[in-house]
Amino acid sequence: MDNGVKTTPSNFIRDIIEEDIRSNKNGGQVVTRFPPEPNGYLHIGHAKSICLNFGLARQYGGRCHLRMDDTNPEKETVEYTDSIINDVRWLGFDWGEHLYYASDYFEQIYQWGVLLIGKGVAYVCDMSPDEVSATRGTPTAPGTESPGRKRSVEENLYLFSRMRAGEYPDGSRTLRARIDMSSPNMHLRDPVLYRIKRAEHHRTGNAWCIYPMYDFAHGQSDYIEGITHSICTLEFEVHRPLYDWFLDKIAEAGRVRPRQIEFARLNLSYTVMSKRKLLELVESGSVRGWDDPRMPTISGLRRRGYTPEAIRDFADRIGVAKADNMVDVALLEHCLREDLNRRAPRVMAVLNPLKVVIENYPEGATEELEAINNPEDESMGKRKVPFARVVYIEKDDFREDPPPKYFRLAPGREARLKFAYYITCTGVVKDDKGEIVEIRCVYDPTTRGGWSNDGRKVKGTLHWISAEDAIEAEVRLYDHLFTVPEPENTKDGTDYRTFINPDSLKVLTRCLVESSVKGAKPGSRFQFERLGYFCVDPDSRRGAPVFNRTVMLRDTWAKIEKSAR
RNA sequence: UGAGGUGUGGCCAAGUGGUACGGCAACGGGUUUUGGUCCCGUGACCCCAGGUUCGAAUCCUGGCACCUCAGCCA
């Protein structure tokens, strides 16, 4: 597995698996699963789990299942199911024939309910939700037993079948495990196994009016599928004794018995990760939808221009452990830049255009200059870009009164137009309000291509676009969704919504992009020279392209300027 | 004050008794027709206190801090 290519650091789960293989547990097999509930869109935190589960299976020659944990019809939809399937596939993983639904196991799970009743370890409870809650006790005080606990096996069997038959109203009864109402582990205080809920299930329709709880469905689903390593997040650690308790009751000798292993979920700075909060952002209109490019959802990242490769690399680099963490979003952005730097074709685009008239360039003349598509990859070739008397440069690349260390264009200074010529600023044209509307320059015809061998030092190199070649575009600039690194974790408990960044989206219109990008399909990625990586948004229309800024290039000048203040 | 977990540089994270890998960030410097990329350099006595040992981040004891659990959610 590691032939000097690229190895990811070890982690405790790999240690466990390797030990299991060494001892030939489960015949040395490794079967994992990614088990989302289809009640929302997948986010970067899920990506960590997906990469972990599918990665482990791939690494140890096993397989990984994709299983919808759809035991609560009230919150689940096919829209979510479809988006999950799409997102996992987009990330680059393949489950082959192993797409499963917990709802496919409802009959089997029901039969296990009957089995537990038969063993005298499950009973029908008549208490209301409030009563169940009131009798559960607290972490430091034991709960009290339900009257249903004393029922006979026969009566429980009868009542459970009536529950399934729809004889009782929603919430009036439950099937509970008979474990220990005074257990220090709250999850062992006679947990509910089945509840009555007349809701149409997106797959089973109205076939059922009782649905199993997570605890009574998850481990069993793992067992049915022959999962060897059931990997989940830390909050389920206290559920593990219950997971094992059920397995003790139903597992047959000789079959694979899954083991639950917990790891710490991902937290990312400047964003929120819970499905509830992401849903709130969508429903409150704080963002335009689940796939808003500011969202940490897979669909949002995809629309933003992230590549699956960058996300997978990120997942590898953050590692897997049990300590709570807060990963710097800068690492995610780094992974993205590294990937895009290698593969994104370069193109010239001017976001805030400033007109430049080259006084000594013949009026009406035009010529084609050669531009390199990607200095990191010669095979991406070259292209021709037209040059003319009137070009546009970035407003920020000219200063009438340049600060120290600024080496772009300024009155009397010479700078290079990349791939074109050296130009020297000879004058500034302003409007009535004193705003610079145009600058005048002269070019040096001997510097064609942007080079002279007379030893002249021209430090500044600018991107530009000729007036005739420019096509207009809308460009959407994104910033972090929140203004603070940990919106969910502030010392005074301020609501995370307080920190929503009002400037997370800035829309620029009438930006100028070179015509070579005309017709690029939504999702196409480019580097706009010196600015950053951008991709075509699906909102684009013929003749009206829209670009999303995926991520900026590192900007040392911005840093210098900032620290100077 | 119950149970289950976790504590290694600003952020992740290796290390499993032999004298602290790596990545990101930050800060210097070099190369450069992107102030990009690339290259070089700079940082920890491992939560605290005792103990065992020739030797401890790793073992023992006692503290402290933080996270999870009282849904008929997952």
pLDDT computed for residue A7 by the predictor: 62
pLDDT tens string A89-117: 999 999 999 999 999 999 999 999 999 99
For A308, the 3-state DSSP assignment is helix
Average pLDDT over residues A396-407: 96
**Spacing of A128 CA from B2 C1' in Å:** 26
Catalytic residue flag (residue A408): no
Q: Specify the pLDDT at position A476.
A: 98
Rounded, the Å distance between the CA of A500 and C1' of B57 is: 40
φ/ψ bin of A364: left (φ > 0), alpha (ψ from -120 to 50), beta (otherwise): left
The CATH number of domain A275-345+473-564, selected from 3.30.43.10, 2.40.240.10, 3.40.50.300, 3.40.50.620: 2.40.240.10
Distance A4 CA to B19 C1' (A): 28
Residues forming CATH 3.40.50.620 domain(s) in chain A = 12-263
- Whether A275 is a known active-site residue: answer yes
**Rounded distance, CA A442 to CA A534, Å?**
32
What is the ipTM, given to two decimal places? Answer: 0.97
Q: What pLDDT does residue A5 have? A: 39
Q: Which fold has domain A12-263?
A: Rossmann fold (3.40.50)
* Nearest alpha carbon to residue A379 among A413, A345, A408: A345
pLDDT band at A8 (very low <50, low <70, confident <90, very high): confident
Query: Nearest nucleotide, C1' to the C-alpha of A326?
Result: B11
Residue A159 token pair: 């009542």
Q: Is the pLDDT of residue A138 over 70?
A: yes
Nucleotide nearest to A172 (CA to C1'): B72
Apex A121 CA angle, A119 and A126, nearest 5:
125
Residue A554, both tokens: 């590192």
Has residue A21 got a pLDDT over 70?
yes
Instruction: Report the candidate in A416, A524, A516, A494 with the shortest Cα–Cα distance to residue A462.
Output: A416
- Per-residue pLDDT at A9: 77
Contact A366, A390 (CB under 8 A): no
Q: Identify whether A265 is a catalytic site residue.
A: yes
Q: How far is the CA of A6 from the C1' of B54 (A)?
A: 40
Q: For residue A1, is pLDDT > 90?
A: no
Q: What is the pLDDT of residues A178-232, one digit of tens each?
A: 999 999 999 999 999 999 999 999 999 999 999 999 999 999 999 999 999 999 9
* pLDDT-above-70 percentage for chain A: 99
Buried/exposed code over A241-260 (b: 16+ C-beta within 10 A; e: otherwise): ebbbbbbeebbeeeebbbbb
CB contact at 8 A, A183 and A215:
no
Residue among A14, A25, A197, A265 flagged as catalytic? A265
Give the span between the Cα atoms of A340 and A307, in whole angstroms: 8
Average pLDDT of the segment spanning A389-410: 97
From A176, A203, A275, A337, the catalytic residue: A275
Average pLDDT over residues A30-54: 98
Give me the CA A323–C1' B53 separation in Å, rounded. 30
pLDDT tens, position by position, A426-448: 999 999 999 999 999 999 999 99
A185-198 burial by CB neighbour count: b if 16+ within 10 A, else e? eebbbbbbbbbbee
State the nucleotide closest to A532 in CA–C1' terms: B36
Question: How are beta strands A470-478 and A505-514 bridged, if at all?
Answer: antiparallel
pLDDT digits (tens, 9 = 90+) for A219-264: 999 999 999 999 999 999 999 999 999 999 999 999 999 999 999 9
Whole-model pTM over 0.90: yes
Please list the helix, strand and coil fractions of chain A in percent, rounded to the nearest 5, in that order. Answer: 30, 25, 40
Total residues belonging to chain A: 565
Q: What is the structure's pLDDT at A457?
A: 87
| pLDDT bracket for residue A491 (50, 70, 90) | confident
A487 pLDDT higher than 70: yes
In whole angstroms, B71 C1' to A212 CA is 14
Q: Mind listing the pLDDT tens digit for each residue in A520-560?
A: 999 999 999 999 999 999 999 999 999 999 999 999 999 99
Mean pLDDT of A468-477: 97
Q: Residue A486 CA to nucleotide B43 C1', Å?
A: 25
Tokens of A204: 């089973």
Of all nucleotides in the shown strands, which has a C1' nearest the CA of A218? B74
By C1' distance from the Cα of A137, the closest nucleotide is: B70
CA distance A565 to A559: 10
> Which positions of strand B lie within 7 Å of protein CB atoms?
1-8, 10-16, 21-27, 33-38, 66-74
What span, in angstroms and rounded, lies between the C-alpha atoms of A138 and A135?
9
Cα gap A239→A261, rounded to integer Å: 11
Residue A332's identity, in one-letter code, is L
At A2, is the pLDDT very low, low, confident or very high (cuts 50, 70, 90)?
Answer: very low
Asked whether the predicted pLDDT for residue A453 surpasses 90, the reply is no
Tokens 């699963």 found at: A33
Q: Which residue type does A381 have?
A: G
- pLDDT confidence band for A519 (50 / 70 / 90): very high
Mean pLDDT of A320-347: 98
**According to the CATH classification, is domain A349-463 in 3.30.70.660?**
no
For chain A, give the mean pLDDT. 96
> Is residue A255 within 8 Å of residue A29, measured between CB atoms?
no
Could you give the 3-state DSSP secondary structure of residue A231?
strand
H/E run at residue A492: none
> What pLDDT does residue A377 have?
97
DSSP state of A252: P
Q: How far is CA A323 from the centre of its chain?
A: 21
Confidence band, pLDDT 50/70/90 cuts, at residue A162:
very high
**% of chain A at pLDDT higher than 90:** 96
A462 within 8 A of A415, measured Cβ to Cβ: yes
Query: Can you tell me whether residue A531 is helix, strand or coil?
Result: coil
Nearest nucleotide over every DNA/RNA strand to the A134 CA, judged by C1': B70
Structure tokens at A151: 């029922």
- Ranges for all domains in chain A classified under CATH 2.40.240.10: 275-345+473-564, 349-463
- Considering only CA atoms, which residue is closest to the C1' of nucleotide B72? A195
Element (H, E) at A347: strand A346-347
